[in-house]
A and B are shown apart, each in its own frame.
Chain A
Amino acid sequence: MLRELASLTRREFLKLGRNPQAIFTALLLPLLYLLLFGQGFNINPTEFGDFTAAQKVAILAAYFRGAPNYYSYFAAGMVGFVAVTATLFIGANVIFDKLFGIFKRVRGTPAPSAAVFGSRLIAGSAQPIALAFFVLGLALLFKHIPGLTGLEVTASVGVLGALEILAAILLLSVMFATLFLTFGILIENPQMYFAAVNLLNLPVLLTSDALYPWGAMPHWLQNVSQYNPVSLAVNVLRETLFGSSVYPYGPGIYLLGLFAWAAVLIGIALVLVRRALRPLD
């Protein structure tokens, strides 16, 4: 099983390495968001009036959940955003491999279904995880570039905090990679795949608090977003980076919620995939 998994995973990374356009596009999207979207929307509501220091803290807490400005709040949200969007193509690659007969050839070998699925999941999750850290690094770097706002970390991030961030990104990426990979295995044509992915992807992202200032969201959307897996992951990041005083729960609870989401979705996906990848069908 391990040799088959290693061999198929190597194939995925070889293919990825030979597709510089895909890597460039994957990097370009967060770069544009961080450089244009985040900078463009970077308002500070405390600058619109003569507020006391205590009032400023209260306003920032209400609007950006403790982040010092929108950009920092948004940068943490972008990590969650790319951890989901970078998994979109994982299933499309399966569909293209089906169209070109490559999937059929692999299924013609005794390589276990777990190796076929696992290799794609490893490669498909590695990209969003790497991209999430690229976003964090880039946002931190912008702070040192004159004229740009960057991510300002206002809490002290210890080893535990770093591990919590890693766990949140990992859970979110693996969860969506599993989901979209399952779509790719079950669906036969690219058009239907992208329709299905968008049907899921957009509502999930747009009902999260990844990009909207918390204080600007209507209450009903705040309530919905509390249970959104992207919000759960982003909460872990924001609490770790900016402090947890405005959050009702600690990062551990949000991680637990994220874990529950991942367990349910991955469980459903694996049942479907096991049926689809049964030998002799």
Chain B
Amino acid sequence: MQPTQAIHAENLVKVFNGKIRAVDDVSFDVRPGEIFGFLGPNGAGKTTTVSMLSAGLRPTQGRAVVDGLEVGKEPEAVKRRIGVIFQESTADGDLTGRENIQVAAGCYGMPRAEGRKRADELVERMQIADAADRLAKTYSGGMRRRLELAVGLVHDPKILFLDEPTLGLDPQGRNGFWGFIQQLRKEEGLTVFVTTHYLDEADTMCDRLAIIDHGKIVATGSPNELKDRLGGDIVTIKTTAGAPDVTNVLSTLIGVHTVQKQDGSYRVKCANGEPFVPLAVEACDKAGAGVTGVTVKRPSLDEVFLEFTGREFRDEDAPTATDRAVMVQRVQNRFGGRR
């Protein structure tokens, strides 16, 4: 019998060194066959959560059930049912693409002949057949990612964990990668759990999302549901320097849900932004506050993040994804010849 939830996380907590609370009481469910996104800035706890769900890290508290198996009790069985694509490149540069897949097949206990057959299938499917007998260190970033996807799929998993899978890829590479994921989901009904800090990916590729910040989930829902929770459009009104406060004036206008004053401008949530603009400008003028700029935005996930966390979606102290990609590249360049 198929479990009702592909992934069930219940009050997961991970504390490192007794003080760093990387994941703080996280609970969510992922339905079979859906693409579930874990969206958050660097250092939010995404990778730690993936590690706990994929039997790579023991939670400090809480439990995780993956495909009906308790991760803490049956880690090996869980590993047989999931595929994991790690954030960093894990292809073995000194092996060919085909050999990488064959070695992975062996790690799942597949006989050598079966591993060879599976490698042949996967290099065709991931469109790296022409380069399959080249060393993986000669692959482009996009090809390496496709090879890693092939390695993650070698044992025909039911659930795929993707940890920042498109990190460091150019737009073409990102589109190509997501094309494969969508195809896999459509053809094989794979459940996909993906972490990302790319808002556009989360918006367009995921059926549902959890937004995580400082180790806590702050919102869960489909991208549209999350945006709808904002209650309409966001109108930002900038007034002249020294103008009187018009928060109350704006709040009384028709269709306005909330008004927040931020750095000399007003962030107004209203049902419909465009007809609201002339009314707002007129009201500000009457109150003696000259309007110097107005923007109307349809809600985006960036706005959703701001709404639920009170700050912009950006990385704070942690190095950016690009910084880390550059660091990894530097290490690979430095030690590449010694592997």
| In-complex Cβ contact of B86 among A10, A14, A101, A111 (8 A) | A101
| In-complex Cβ contact of B107 among A4, A104, A280 (8 A) | A4
| In-complex Cβ contact of A18 among B94, B109, B338 (8 A) | B94
Indicate if the CB atoms of A8 and B103 lie closer than 8 Å: yes
Q: A106–B108 Cα gap in the complex (Å)?
A: 10
Indicate if the CB atoms of A10 and B93 lie closer than 8 Å: no
| In-complex Cβ contact of B90 among A100, A111, A280 (8 A) | A100
- B215 contacts across to A, CB distance below 8 A: none
Indicate if the CB atoms of A3 and B57 lie closer than 8 Å: no
Interface residues of B in 37-78 (CB under 8 A from A): 54-58, 71-72, 75-77
Q: Is B295 an interface residue (CB 8 A)?
A: no
Q: A11–B112 Cα gap in the complex (Å)?
A: 13
- B88 contacts across to A, CB distance below 8 A: 101, 104
- A18 contacts across to B, CB distance below 8 A: 94, 135
| In-complex Cβ contact of B108 among A109, A279, A280 (8 A) | A109
Interface string of B77-114 (1 = CB under 8 A from A): 10110001010111011110001001111111111100
Indicate if the CB atoms of B54 and A96 lie closer than 8 Å: no
| In-complex Cβ contact of A3 among B104, B111, B151, B332 (8 A) | B111
B103, B108, B332, most chain A CB atoms within 10 A:
B103
- A11 contacts across to B, CB distance below 8 A: 92, 95, 99, 103
- B111 contacts across to A, CB distance below 8 A: 3
Known: A109-B108, A280-B75, A281-B57. A7 touches B102 (CB 8 A): yes
Interface string of B135-179 (1 = CB under 8 A from A): 100000000000000010000000000000000000000000000
A107, A109, A111, most chain B CB atoms within 10 A:
A109
Indicate if the CB atoms of A14 and B95 lie closer than 8 Å: yes
Interface string of A95-118 (1 = CB under 8 A from B): 011011110111111110001000
- B1 contacts across to A, CB distance below 8 A: none
Indicate if the CB atoms of A8 and B107 lie closer than 8 Å: yes
- B115 contacts across to A, CB distance below 8 A: 7
Q: A84–B236 Cα gap in the complex (Å)?
A: 71
Residue of B nearest to A111 (CB): B107
With both chains docked as a complex, state the minimum distance between the C-beta of A254 and any C-beta of chain B, in angstroms: 37
Residue of B nearest to A12 (CB): B103
Q: A72–B338 Cα gap in the complex (Å)?
A: 35
Residue of A nearest to B57 (CB): A280
Residue of B nearest to A101 (CB): B90
- A4 contacts across to B, CB distance below 8 A: 106-107, 109
With both chains docked as a complex, state the minimum distance between the C-beta of A120 and any C-beta of chain B, in angstroms: 13
Q: A102–B135 Cα gap in the complex (Å)?
A: 15
Residue of B nearest to A19 (CB): B94
Indicate if the CB atoms of B79 and A100 lie closer than 8 Å: no
Q: A4–B151 Cα gap in the complex (Å)?
A: 15
Known: A11-B92, A101-B90, A280-B55. A3 touches B335 (CB 8 A): no
- B56 contacts across to A, CB distance below 8 A: 104, 107-108, 280
With both chains docked as a complex, state the minimum distance between the C-beta of A98 and any C-beta of chain B, in angstroms: 11
With both chains docked as a complex, state the minimum distance between the C-beta of A13 and any C-beta of chain B, in angstroms: 11
Q: Is A275 an interface residue (CB 8 A)?
A: no
Q: Is A15 an interface residue (CB 8 A)?
A: yes
With both chains docked as a complex, state the minimum distance between the C-beta of A93 and any C-beta of chain B, in angstroms: 8
Q: Is A256 an interface residue (CB 8 A)?
A: no
Indicate if the CB atoms of B109 and A15 lie closer than 8 Å: no
Indicate if the CB atoms of B103 and A10 lie closer than 8 Å: yes
Indicate if the CB atoms of A109 and B86 lie closer than 8 Å: no
Q: A13–B93 Cα gap in the complex (Å)?
A: 14
Known: A6-B106, A110-B109. A15 touches B95 (CB 8 A): yes
Interface residues of A in 237-281 (CB under 8 A from B): 279-281
Indicate if the CB atoms of B90 and A104 lie closer than 8 Å: yes
Indicate if the CB atoms of B79 and A96 lie closer than 8 Å: no
- B109 contacts across to A, CB distance below 8 A: 3-4, 110
B57, B76, B107, most chain A CB atoms within 10 A:
B107
Q: Is B339 an interface residue (CB 8 A)?
A: yes
- A281 contacts across to B, CB distance below 8 A: 57-58
- B20 contacts across to A, CB distance below 8 A: none
| In-complex Cβ contact of A104 among B86, B102, B103 (8 A) | B86
Q: A107–B108 Cα gap in the complex (Å)?
A: 11
Indicate if the CB atoms of B93 and A100 lie closer than 8 Å: yes
- A96 contacts across to B, CB distance below 8 A: 335, 338-339
Indicate if the CB atoms of B58 and A280 lie closer than 8 Å: yes
Q: A18–B125 Cα gap in the complex (Å)?
A: 27
- B335 contacts across to A, CB distance below 8 A: 96, 99-100
Q: A108–B85 Cα gap in the complex (Å)?
A: 10
Q: A101–B94 Cα gap in the complex (Å)?
A: 13
Residue of B nearest to A16 (CB): B94
Indicate if the CB atoms of B103 and A108 lie closer than 8 Å: no
With both chains docked as a complex, state the minimum distance between the C-beta of B307 and any C-beta of chain A, in angstroms: 36
- A105 contacts across to B, CB distance below 8 A: 86, 90, 104, 151
A4, A15, A105, most chain B CB atoms within 10 A:
A105
Q: A99–B58 Cα gap in the complex (Å)?
A: 22
With both chains docked as a complex, state the minimum distance between the C-beta of A119 and any C-beta of chain B, in angstroms: 10
With both chains docked as a complex, state the minimum distance between the C-beta of A31 and any C-beta of chain B, in angstroms: 22
- A6 contacts across to B, CB distance below 8 A: 106, 112
- B112 contacts across to A, CB distance below 8 A: 3, 6-7
- B58 contacts across to A, CB distance below 8 A: 280-281
- 17 pairs, A vs B, C-beta closer than 8 Å: A3-B109, A3-B110, A4-B109, A6-B106, A8-B107, A14-B94, A18-B94, A96-B339, A100-B93, A100-B331, A100-B339, A101-B86, A102-B92, A104-B90, A108-B56, A111-B108, A279-B55
Closest 9 CB pairs of A and B: A7-B106, A101-B90, A109-B107, A105-B90, A111-B107, A110-B79, A280-B58, A279-B75, A110-B76
